[in-house]
A and B are shown apart, each in its own frame.
Chain A
Amino acid sequence: AQSVTQPDIHITVSEGASLELRCNYSYGATPYLFWYVQSPGQGLQLLLKYFSGDTLVQGIKGFEAEFKRSQSSFNLRKPSVHWSDAAEYFCAVGAKGNAGNMLTFGGGTRLMVKP
């Protein structure tokens, strides 16, 4: 069975500082990987996705993520955090092939941004 671990429940960074959110997955092969962001009272917004190819993927809002097969990781990064980035971030894994659209989510990392 697939699983996702986000080791950091809360992270606080200063505005303008760099950010890295960790994500480790467990899956039998190379999975599909996603990062979503959720602001209070809202649904999930897709930041970026990895399906295959280049292991460094660019997303919206200046985010990027790097897939590392050897470490089973898909960490999210941003070089300079803005106050509006404060939200909860979820890493998710999906099965390849004709298995439908079921996503398995990590527990989330809540990001707080200090002025």
Chain B
Amino acid sequence: KAGVTQTPRYLIKTRGQQVTLSCSPISGHRSVSWYQQTPGQGLQFLFEYFSETQRNKGNFPGRFSGRQFSNSRSEMNVSTLELGDSALYLCASSWLSGDNQPQHFGDGTRLSIL
């Protein structure tokens, strides 16, 4: 069974641009969560989607948004990029949402802002 797939693996953008990251969950998984990992702030929860609905949202500005499609694939969008958005963005999937199902992580998208 294929794991969680994140594309692209690496991305370079400049300040003010916007970016879209993609995550394909493990087949059959309906919950997709996004995390930001930086050296200064560590791993922080961005949001979770389940059955195309946002289930939870972390403490991030509105520039960070996401969506989930009917096939459970998810995208994350960041608008008006700032230098501080440089990070590894990790996606995790699980079969269900609630009672903290074990989550399976992808290898991430490393976003660099110049």
Contact = CB atoms under 8 A, between A and B. Distances in A.
A42 interface: yes
How would you classify the secondary structure of chain B's contact residues: helix, strand, loop or mixed? Answer: strand
Interface of A: 32, 34, 36, 41-46, 49, 51, 90, 92, 94-108
A104 B45 contact: yes
Given A90-B43, A108-B42, A99 B56 contact: yes
B58 interface: yes
Interface of B: 4, 31, 33, 35, 42-45, 48, 50, 55-56, 58, 90, 92, 94, 97-108
Q: Which 10 A-B pairs have the closest CB atoms?
A: A94-B100, A43-B105, A105-B43, A44-B105, A100-B56, A32-B100, A100-B55, A43-B107, A98-B98, A102-B56
B101 A101 contact: yes
B8 to A, nearest CB: 14
A101 B58 contact: no
25 contacts: A32-B99, A32-B100, A43-B90, A43-B108, A44-B90, A45-B105, A46-B102, A51-B100, A96-B99, A97-B98, A98-B99, A99-B98, A100-B55, A100-B98, A101-B33, A101-B48, A101-B100, A101-B103, A102-B33, A102-B48, A102-B56, A103-B100, A105-B42, A106-B42, A108-B42
A101 B107 contact: no
A100 B94 CA distance: 11
Given A100-B97, A101-B55, A49 B102 contact: yes
A7 B56 CA distance: 28
